[in-house]
């Protein structure tokens, strides 16, 4: 599935009241626009990014939009229009025709997490359209619009707050759904509204309180607090557990790497990377605990970058993704199932290497070796497997 992200940054930010476009204002040393673009350029589910900017800015974009990203993803810049929907439409026309899914995100929301992006993409792929949104917690009143200036608003009705959500971005759509929406006349404050008008069902994805939209200068103080104390600003995620499992065939001519340690053997595990079942199972466990997908999402075997890669390095990268979410590994427990050779003499080295990759104390890493008592492919010595469980916690 090819996914293109559109960053809507074509507005002038008049309510913000700065002497420059709002999206260029810095939070914690990085421009709001830079943060928003970087979140999608770095996300493994996104294949390309299109940024819609005001005409003057599109003609002379900031340096961080002109520098080649390490991910190698294409980044295109287009001029926005008078309305938000015009900017999105211009970016949509510039998106790769192979795009199956389009994700739209406001540049003024610089703290959308990788987890939120992944969940919104997954929901749109399954249902056709999805919008991040947060439930309201206060009582909701609908008022009249016809009151005299000195009378104040009059309550028409009280709405059941259980049915009310505040829309955010990202919002994601199958290509044909967004095309239908953009063909409609009239204006709307977001693309989900247009999709609803076009008759499409829009799925709610649980948003994030920290995914704020910077609209006025007062919002900068909140944004700075989120940047400075991400683990405090985000809801606690203490005690989240995840499981992982991996299995590889054993073949001649391959080294046997288990837990980052080379083990003398006449056969090794067959795989795209070094096929280290321990690292793969642990990587899946910590990603699963943080709801960040799995190893195949972040390090697919179709990507030549991961050919013969060290699985310890992949585990290290996965741990960094957790840190970006304000999370760290509490402990992991692994069971290796291998008929031969025995791994007991290598367990201490394995624990040390896994602990180093995850940035935790070795006392938090447990590895056990079991056989399959001669049963099935593992018992016949034709395969190796590992089960892992991990606990992650707020940093």
Residue 333 and residue 366 in one domain: yes
**C-alpha pair distances (Å), 56 with each of 52, 59, 62, 93, 216:** 11, 5, 11, 20, 22
What secondary structure letter does DSSP report for 341?
A: S
Provide mean pLDDT across the span 42-58.
Answer: 92
pLDDT given at position 326: 75
Tokens of 283: 């990587």
Give the helix/strand (H/E) hosting 317.
helix 311-324
Domain boundary among 204, 233, 262: 233
Higher pLDDT, 239 or 241: 241
pLDDT given at position 67: 62
Residue 126 and residue 44 in one domain: yes
Expressed as residue numbers, the domain containing 364 is 240-394
CATH number, domain containing residue 201: 3.90.550.10
Quick one: angle between helices 277-289 and 311-324, nearest 10?
A: 10
Percent of the chain residues topping a pLDDT of 70: 92
15 pLDDT higher than 70: no
Residue 65 and residue 41 in one domain: yes
Residue 79 and residue 103 in one domain: yes
Give the other-Cβ count within 10 Å of 236's Cβ.
11
3 pLDDT higher than 90: yes
Ordered DSSP codes for 128-161: SEEEEEEE--S-EEEE-S---TTT---EEEEE-G
Residue 47 and residue 154 in one domain: yes
pLDDT given at position 238: 47
Provide mean pLDDT across the span 41-50.
Answer: 91
pLDDT given at position 232: 47
Domain boundary among 233, 251, 283: 233
pLDDT in tens, 173-218: 999 999 999 999 988 999 999 999 999 999 999 999 999 999 888 8
Report how far residue 257's alpha carbon sits from residue 269's, in angstroms, rounded to the nearest whole number.
8
Quick one: angle between helices 277-289 and 347-358, nearest 10?
A: 40
pLDDT in tens, 61-120: 998 897 655 557 899 999 999 899 999 999 999 999 999 999 999 999 999 998 899 989
Give the other-Cβ count within 10 Å of 247's Cβ.
17
Which of 4-13, 189-198, 357-366 has the lowest average pLDDT? 4-13
Name the residue among 296, 293, 294, 291 with its Cα closest to residue 327: 291
35 pLDDT higher than 70: yes
Task: Give, rounded to a whole angstrom, the gap between the first and last alpha carbons of the chain.
Answer: 34
Which of 165-169, 238-242, 347-351 has the lowest average pLDDT? 238-242
Report the chain's mean pLDDT, rounded to a whole number.
Answer: 90
Provide the number of structural domains found in the chain: 2
Domain boundary among 233, 254, 281: 233
pLDDT given at position 117: 93
Residue 154 class from Cβ within 10 Å (0-12 exposed, 13-18 middle, 19+ buried)?
exposed
Residue 122 and residue 49 in one domain: yes
Residue 102 and residue 42 in one domain: yes
Residue 328 and residue 382 in one domain: yes
Query: Please, which residues have CB within 8 angstroms of residue 14's CB and are 6 or more apart in sequence?
Result: none
Residue 337 three-state SS: strand
Residue 218 and residue 291 in one domain: no
C-beta separation of 131 from 192 below 8 A:
yes
Residue 247 and residue 375 in one domain: yes
Report how far residue 6's alpha carbon sits from residue 249's, in angstroms, rounded to the nearest whole number.
42
CATH number, domain containing residue 272: 3.30.1330.50
Provide mean pLDDT across the span 22-43.
Answer: 91
pLDDT given at position 236: 44
pLDDT given at position 7: 97
Tokens of 214: 């910077």
Higher pLDDT, 263 or 70: 263
Confidence category of residue 148, pLDDT binned at 50, 70, 90: low
Strand order, beta sheet including 267-269:
267-269, 240-252, 383-394, 327-337, 365-370
Report how far residue 260's alpha carbon sits from residue 277's, in angstroms, rounded to the nearest whole number.
10
Residue 143 and residue 222 in one domain: yes
pTM, full prediction? 0.61
Residue 28 and residue 126 in one domain: yes
Report how far residue 94's alpha carbon sits from residue 101's, in angstroms, rounded to the nearest whole number.
14
């Amino acid at each position: 599935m090819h996914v293109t992200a559109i960053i809507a940054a074509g507005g002038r930010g008049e309510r913000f009241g700065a002497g420059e476009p709002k999206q260029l204002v810095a939070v914690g040393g990085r421009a709001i626009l830079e943060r928003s673009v970087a979140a999608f350029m770095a996300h493994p589910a996104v294949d390309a990014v299109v940024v819609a900017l005001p005409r003057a800015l599109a003609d002379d974009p900031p340096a961080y939009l002109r520098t080649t990203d390490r991910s190698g993803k294409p980044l295109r810049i287009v001029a926005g229009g008078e309305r938000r929907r015009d900017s999105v439409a211009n970016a949509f026309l510039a998106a790769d025709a192979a795009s199956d899914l389009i994700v739209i995100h406001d540049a003024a929301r610089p703290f959308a997490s990788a987890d939120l992006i992944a969940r919104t993409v997954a929901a749109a792929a399954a249902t056709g359209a999805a919008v991040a949104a947060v439930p309201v917690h206060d009582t909701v009143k609908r008022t009249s619009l016809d009151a005299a200036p000195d009378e104040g608003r009059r309550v028409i009705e009280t709405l059941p707050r259980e049915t009310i959500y505040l829309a955010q971005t990202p919002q994601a759509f199958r290509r044909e759904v967004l095309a239908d929406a953009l063909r409609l006349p009239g204006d709307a404050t977001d693309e989900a509204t247009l999709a609803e008008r076009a008759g499409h069902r829009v799925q709610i994805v649980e948003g994030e309180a920290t995914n704020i939209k910077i609209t006025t200068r007062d919002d900068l103080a909140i944004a700075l607090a989120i940047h400075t104390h991400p683990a405090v600003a985000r809801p606690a995620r203490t005690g989240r557990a995840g499981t992982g499992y991996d299995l590889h065939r054993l073949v001649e001519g391959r080294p046997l790497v288990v837990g980052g340690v080379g083990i003398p053997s006449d056969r090794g595990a067959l795989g795209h990377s070094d096929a280290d079942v321990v690292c793969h199972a642990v990587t899946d466990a910590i990603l699963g605990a943080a709801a960040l997908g799995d190893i195949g999402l972040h390090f697919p075997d179709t990507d030549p970058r991961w050919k013969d890669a060290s699985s310890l390095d992949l585990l290290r990268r996965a741990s960094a993704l957790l840190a970006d979410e304000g999370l760290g590994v509490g402990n992991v427990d692994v069971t290796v199932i291998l008929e031969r050779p025995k791994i007991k003499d290598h367990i201490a080295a394995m624990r040390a290497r896994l602990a180093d990759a995850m940035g935790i104390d070795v006392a938090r890493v447990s590895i056990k070796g079991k056989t399959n008592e001669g049963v099935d492919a593992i018992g016949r010595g034709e395969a190796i497997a590992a089960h892992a469980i991990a606990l992650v916690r707020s940093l």
